[in-house]
Structure 1
Amino acid sequence: MRLNRYIALCGICSRRAADLLITAGKVKVNGKTGKLGDTVTNSDSVEVNDGKWQKISTPTETIVYALNKPAGYISSAADPTSKKVVTTLVPPTPRVFPVGRLDADSEGLLLLTNDGDLAYSLTHPKTHVMKEYEVIGECARTIEKYQLEHKLDRVREGILLPEGRTQEAQIKILSFSPGRAVLHIGISEGKRRQIRRTLQKVGITVIRLIRHKIGGLSLDELHIMPGKYCILTKTQIEVLKNGV
């Protein structure tokens, strides 16, 4: 199989990210620097440097953890500046990495897997996998509900951020009182702190953000307490794949 796919199947990263590692000279095959387009088999010795050199091998099976991420944890496989990374909340082996991100202040459903291809398909904007959130926000107490709806229309249609315009968002006001609103938001992309930044653009400060759903997988149906995880069944993994 191609070298980038092999690296992805080992749970190191997606195929696209593997291409970047290969281009940067951070992959060796049988002691020699790997090249884009190289093919390998399980009998080859493959090493990757994603911080330090390590020999990798393909996992025996795909594993996906569904984690109810608590606030305060970083969505990363490792972070030298913090001990509170999400990978410390799941078993250390096999090695897994987060599928997409939830910023440290956010909570809710986060997937971790050793399958780079699955992670790529769930996070790439072109696949339009919907992620759904409950958001508690504060706004000016003088704003009426109909005025808030008009402000949210800007977010629904797409907000211009420095890295580009956001895609359309699904937004419903679940409850409203002067200075406070609870929103249901659905988006199919994941720019950095996207919901917080786009709502801030229209005068809403996010107080709490909880992701409830990824594709056809719902936190409510999984019944996971904050800080806990479950291992997805093959059927549940297929539900995710079918939503791509």
Structure 2
Amino acid sequence: MERLNKVLAHAGVGSRRRCDELIRRGRISVDGVVVRELGVQVDPTTQEVSVDQQPLKSEHLVYWLVNKPRGYLCTNHDPAGRPLAVDLVPHVHQRVYTVGRLDEDSEGLLLLTNDGDLANKLTHPRYGVEKTYLVQVAGRPSPDDIDQLLKGVYLSDGHVRARSVRRLKTQGESAWLQIILNEGKNREIRRMLARLKHKVMRLKRMAMGSIVLGKLASGKSRPLRAEEVARLRESADRAARRELHPT
């Protein structure tokens, strides 16, 4: 028996959070009976799970690495018709979703997949999968500023801190930092630095877990190799085990 949202995520319906929302809205049924309760256990080998009255079909799981340019949105639909990250993989026939988000003004490494279970493990704060960013900020952060980023600052949605901060170089009246996070709240780096009076001029994600952007050009994409997917799963599972059995 497995949780219903996990079964849906494995089938490529979306992330577990997205699947929970579909359950709440009454769009999921099991053996013809609408289910609205979260946490329901099902046996996908003997029970029929349907989305909008359409039986669930196992979908071939795909994993794509994209170098997102600035100006693209991490959503599958925008009423204003702005460019979407999924537009960068028009050759992918499966319905894929972004693993986490980069805001419209940010760029760099973005994973697209229909593997909702893996996406959940890579993005949920409690699993702590590392994300590495290259950040250009206005001004020159002092050692005290960097120490404060490591100790943490209070934002409207709680206390956040960087896993690691390195000053890389100065450029005119700006500085470049490498920042590693274990979680990814909305616009977290921008808001942390704003609290310290440093505006982010450029933000680029360089790595997520074991996957690095490398030399992939802006706007281009490539499928992850089988060994890359295996390493990504391993790092996500290792983080999940730490959550279940903290030292």
Shorter chain as denominator, the TM-score bin is 0.7 to 0.9
In structure 1, distance between residues paired with 2:158 and 2:187: 14
Q: Is the CA contact (8 Å cut-off) linking 2:25 and 2:36 kept in structure 1? A: no
Show the 5 A alignment for 1:88-127: 88-90=87-89, 91-127=91-127
SS of equivalent residue, structure 1 residue 22: helix
Q: Which residue type is aligned with residue 150 of structure 2?
A: R
How many residues end up aligned between the 2 structures?
A: 231
| Cα drift, residue 40 of structure 1 | 5.3
Q: Which residue is 1:236 aligned to?
A: 228
Q: TM-score, normalised by structure 1?
A: 0.86
Amino acid at match of 1:79: D
Q: Note the C-alpha offset of 1:11.
A: 1.8
What's the offset of the Cα at 1:54?
6.3
Q: Which residue of 1 aligns with 2:180?
A: 186
Bigger Cα displacement from structure 2, 115-124 vs 15-24: 15-24
Judge which range, 158-167 or 78-87, deviates more.
78-87
- Considering only aligned residues, what root-mean-square deviation do their CA atoms show, in Å? 2.1
Quick one: percent identity of the two aligned structures? Answer: 35
Partners of 2:130 and 2:179 in 1: CA distance: 10
Post-superposition Cα deviations, 1:140-174, rounded to whole Å, max 9, x if no partner, equal xxxxx6x6121121111111000001134311110
Match of 1:34, as an amino acid? V
Which segment is superposed worse, 28-37 or 6-15?
28-37
Alignment of 1:93-172 (within 5 A): 93-139=93-139, 148-172=142-166
Q: Can you give the 5+ residue segments of structure 2 that lack an aligned partner in the other structure?
A: 237-247
Using a 3 Å threshold, how does the CA distance of structure 1 residues 127 and 45 change in structure 2: closer, same or farther?
closer
Cross-structure match for 2:195: 201
Aligned equivalents of 1:54, 1:76: Cα separation in 2: 24
TM-score, scaled to structure 2? 0.85
Aligned mates of 2:204, 2:10 — CA distance in 1: 30
| CA distances 1:83-135 after superposition (whole Å, capped 9, x unpaired) | 31111111351111000000000000000111011000101122211111111
- Is 1:39 aligned with 2:42? yes
Task: Please name the residue that 2:16 is paired with.
Answer: 15
Q: Is the 8 A contact 1:152 1:202 kept in 2?
A: no
> 1:211: how far off?
0.6
Contact 2:28 2:34 in 1 (8 A): yes
Question: Given residue 231 of structure 1, which amino acid in structure 2 is its aligned partner?
Answer: P
| Gap regions ≥5 residues in structure 1 | 140-144
Tell me the equivalent position of 2:75: 76
